[in-house]
Chain A
Amino acid sequence: MRRLLGGMDVFTRACAGWMSLMVLLAVVGPFLPLPDPREADFEASAVGLFSPGHVLGTDSNGYDLLSNVVNGARTSLMIAFVSVVVGGALGAAIGIVSAYRRGRIDRVVNLLFNIVLSIPNLVLGLALVAILATSSDPSVVISPSRRVVVIMIALTCVVLPVLGRIARGATLTWINREFVVAARSMGMRDRHIILRHIVPNVLPAIYSVGFLAVGVVIVAEGALSLLGVGVVDGVSWGAMISRVAGEFTFVPHSMYVPVTVLALTVIASNQLGDYLRSRLDLREGRL
């Protein structure tokens, strides 16, 4: 790990710093002395940056932007991490096993991945949310927490085939390496070959693309909110954006604040993904 941090340039350090800060906020957010993100301050609605009591100002409803950013980090990052980790783990498992087995299973899996990948992310997310998070009875309100879960599931489905295909592709290149043949020739079980030789070599590709996927998912969450199917009345960066979408011209900073935070987070996670890839590939590059 120390070697991993050693070679970081300033920009990468800044990105790592930003990412850590966001994660920290997500964890300790509720314990910080900030206004309740869901409580409107009617005295001070739509006040600008650095207003007393509202460091980042408020939106037209009087919601404190700083508090929403901090507490929204919790929802947004949780959605991102959960869907990437779950989607990545499932995708990698399916991709690796199907590539290792080859044959019919592999063809079916590959076909399914391709079909899902051919559907644009947002359309897929929208469709899944529509199926899972609408009730036939309009009077039944769907709770924000249920929405969060649904969005996680939808975005997991978006991430799964992406990482699954990468895992499958990487596995296909590694299983032709002679050390895998060597492992089989010494009588190693398939299970052990996958765990000892394939997974450790495929993981670097998954990690780095996983970071990129975090960015994609954060953006997707925001976009779904804008389309009205996100965590609309919850606390998340996407929800902040969707609430003020119509008021951009009147209260521009209420849009800039969440968008900036979101953009910085996406940039940071992409950069960390790239950095990780270059670091982990280095050993391969030296071959």
Chain B
Amino acid sequence: MAGTGTAHLRGGDAVLKATDVNVRFKVPGGTVQAVSGVSFDIMRGETLAIVGESGCGKTTLGKAILQLPPPDSGSVVLDGTDLTSLSGEALRAARTSIQMVFQDPISSLDPRMTVRNLVAEPLWVWNRGSEDERDAKVRELLDAVGLEPDLVLDRRSYEFSGGQCQRISIARSVALEPAVLICDEPVSALDVSIQAQILNLLQDMKERYGLTMVFISHDLAVVRAVSTRIMVMYLGKICEVGDPEAIYSRPAHHYTSALIGSVPIPDPTRRTGRTPLRGEPPSPMNPPSGCRFRTRCPAASDRCAAEEPELREVSPGQYVACHHPRG
């Protein structure tokens, strides 16, 4: 199978390394190739941003890393252990090294539990520490995410705003001191004025707990503020991977360039927020042949329809899957 390639993998001691991950969903009328042939690696302390539009498979990939559900094929290696080969108790234990913060801060908290129980839950599941130690840890975590423990401990999630719920989620997700934290659009549901607070908090938590992060987002502006490496996805495949500076200043893939160009910039003296793209993403049930982006690409040629592009290096540390990359 013509994968999207693994040229961008760096070898060495990656904390997390996914190779040729495929996730399919059976839906009425066919199969959705939500993630196909995606590979990536993350070094300790990095923040890998996964960027792309709605439905391109970002969440599915994030969950596949956690084995929720496990990918249909491919491997996910965490600190030398292939998670896809584990099951039952071993998988349960291994999962604790990867935690996830979800997009919808309200739906990711059980409305019937108090904040105390919500944050202590991971500790309870793994029987970490005595009751008192857990309580102390919960206080420490709440304090770290900027909530006053005494004011919030006995309240329930529905009494909090979206931003506060997201703080609670973050506190909970770092309770087990995971190696990798996957943040799935952690600020998309939040108001503009709250977004920056949560992004800052994530940076603080990363430093404080030595986290390696996967940051999923559709918003290139948000991604720019937090990431150290960027992976752009389109319809289940990787378009471009690389260092943010390179990607923002010289996007090599036409899709990346369109994404960056579409972001409106708050400055009326500059014409921004335009896109050269025609149409909308095709149905993931029967993706276009060859390059999946060719139906909307301004540079598409016959070759793009016939042959699937492989990821290759266009500048040091910048990899693109395109037959006619931007110069």
- Taking Cβ atoms with an 8 Å cutoff, the residues of A that contact B are 177-179, 181-189, 192, 196-197, 200-201, 283-284, 286-287
Q: Report whether A178 and B125 are in contact in the complex, using a CB–CB cutoff of 8 Å.
A: no
Q: Which of B96, B99, B102, B122 contacts A178 (CB 8 A)?
A: B102
- Taking Cβ atoms with an 8 Å cutoff, the residues of B that contact A are 63, 66, 68, 92-93, 95-96, 98-100, 102-104, 106-113, 121-122, 125-126, 156, 158, 169, 172-173, 176
Please name all residues of chain B whose beta carbon is closer than 8 Å to the beta carbon of A284 when the two chains form the complex.
111
Some 5 contacts from A to B, beta carbons below 8 A apart, are: A178-B102, A186-B172, A201-B111, A283-B156, A286-B158
In Å, the complex CA distance between A277 and B173 comes to 33
Other than A179-B107, A283-B111, give 17 A-B pairs with Cβ distance below 8 A: A177-B108, A178-B102, A179-B108, A181-B68, A182-B108, A184-B68, A186-B125, A186-B172, A186-B176, A188-B121, A189-B125, A196-B110, A197-B110, A201-B112, A283-B158, A286-B158, A287-B106
Q: Report whether B100 and A182 are in contact in the complex, using a CB–CB cutoff of 8 Å.
A: yes
Q: Report whether B102 and A182 are in contact in the complex, using a CB–CB cutoff of 8 Å.
A: yes
In Å, the complex CA distance between A177 and B103 comes to 11
In Å, the complex CA distance between A200 and B156 comes to 14
Please name all residues of chain B whose beta carbon is closer than 8 Å to the beta carbon of A200 when the two chains form the complex.
110, 112
Chain B: which residue is nearest A200 at the CB level? B112
In Å, the complex CA distance between A218 and B98 comes to 53
Q: Report whether A188 and B125 are in contact in the complex, using a CB–CB cutoff of 8 Å.
A: yes
Q: Report whether A187 and B125 are in contact in the complex, using a CB–CB cutoff of 8 Å.
A: yes
In Å, the complex CA distance between A287 and B112 comes to 12
In Å, the complex CA distance between A6 and B110 comes to 25
Please name all residues of chain A whose beta carbon is closer than 8 Å to the beta carbon of B172 when the two chains form the complex.
182, 186
Please name all residues of chain A whose beta carbon is closer than 8 Å to the beta carbon of B158 when the two chains form the complex.
283, 286-287
Q: Report whether B110 and A192 are in contact in the complex, using a CB–CB cutoff of 8 Å.
A: no
Nearest Cβ in chain B — how far from A186, in angstroms?
4
In Å, the complex CA distance between A284 and B158 comes to 8
Chain A: which residue is nearest B94 at the CB level? A187
The 6 tightest CB contacts between A and B, nearest first, are A178-B108, A178-B102, A186-B122, A187-B92, A179-B110, A188-B125
Given contacts A185-B66, A185-B68, A186-B121, contact A179 B109 (CB under 8 A): yes
Given contacts A186-B95, A187-B93, A286-B158, contact A181 B111 (CB under 8 A): no
In Å, the complex CA distance between A197 and B157 comes to 14
In Å, the complex CA distance between A187 and B97 comes to 10
In Å, the complex CA distance between A192 and B98 comes to 20
In Å, the complex CA distance between A181 and B59 comes to 12
Please name all residues of chain A whose beta carbon is closer than 8 Å to the beta carbon of B63 when the two chains form the complex.
181
Nearest Cβ in chain B — how far from A193, in angstroms?
10
Q: Report whether B96 and A187 are in contact in the complex, using a CB–CB cutoff of 8 Å.
A: yes
Q: Report whether A185 and B100 are in contact in the complex, using a CB–CB cutoff of 8 Å.
A: yes
Please name all residues of chain A whose beta carbon is closer than 8 Å to the beta carbon of B95 when the two chains form the complex.
184-187
Please name all residues of chain A whose beta carbon is closer than 8 Å to the beta carbon of B66 when the two chains form the complex.
185
In Å, the complex CA distance between A284 and B95 comes to 30
In Å, the complex CA distance between A184 and B95 comes to 9
Given contacts A186-B125, A187-B93, A188-B125, contact A287 B68 (CB under 8 A): no
Q: Which of A181, A182, A186, A196 contacts B96 (CB 8 A)?
A: A186
Nearest Cβ in chain A — how far from B273, in angstroms?
31
In Å, the complex CA distance between A283 and B125 comes to 26
